[in-house]
């Protein structure tokens, strides 16, 4: 597997993680919402793949006039902000790997020609 396909698989994984975090933040006040989680898994041929899951029901029941057993969202703002920051940095790092690889290939082609 080439460095390009490895880097692209990581960029796709980080994009999925970003989408999941954005969905968690958008639904932070939605009763009964369970936070989505993305786990990256090393692919046997190189690169990564992702596994999506929802947190098990850990939300505490909230007494409301409409529904006595409504559950609050289990999304934790601090966790989501940390996930957002690490996702951003991981995306940037993998993008830099692709840029460096492209520059190196360009220099090799310049030397050959």
CA dihedral 53, 55, 56, 62 (to 10 degrees): -140
Distance in angstroms (rounded) separating the CA atoms of residues 31 and 77? 15
Distance in angstroms (rounded) separating the CA atoms of residues 35 and 87? 16
Q: Which of 19, 77, 8, 9 has the alpha carbon at shortest distance from 40?
A: 9
| DSSP string for 23-35 | HHHHTTTSTT---
* pTM greater than 0.75 (yes/no): yes
Give the burial class of 20: count Cβ atoms within 10 A of its Cβ; 0-12 exposed, 13-18 middle, 19 or more buried. buried
Over residues 88-108, the pLDDT tens digits come to: 999 999 999 999 999 999 999
Over residues 34-71, the pLDDT tens digits come to: 999 999 999 988 899 999 998 765 545 555 555 545 67
Interior angle at CA 60, CA 59 and CA 62, nearest 5 = 120
């Amino acid at each position: 597997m080439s460095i390009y396909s490895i880097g692209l698989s990581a960029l796709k994984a980080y994009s999925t993680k970003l989408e999941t975090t954005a969905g968690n933040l958008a639904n932070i006040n939605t009763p009964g919402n369970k936070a989505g989680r993305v786990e990256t898994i090393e692919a046997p041929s190189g690169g990564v793949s992702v596994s999506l899951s929802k947190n098990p029901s850990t939300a505490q029941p909230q007494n409301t006039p409409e529904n006595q057993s409504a559950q609050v969202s289990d999304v934790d703002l601090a966790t989501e902000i940390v996930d957002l920051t690490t996702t951003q940095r991981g995306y940037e790092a993998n993008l830099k790997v692709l840029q460096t690889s492209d520059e190196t290939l360009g220099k090799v082609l310049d030397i050959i020609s």
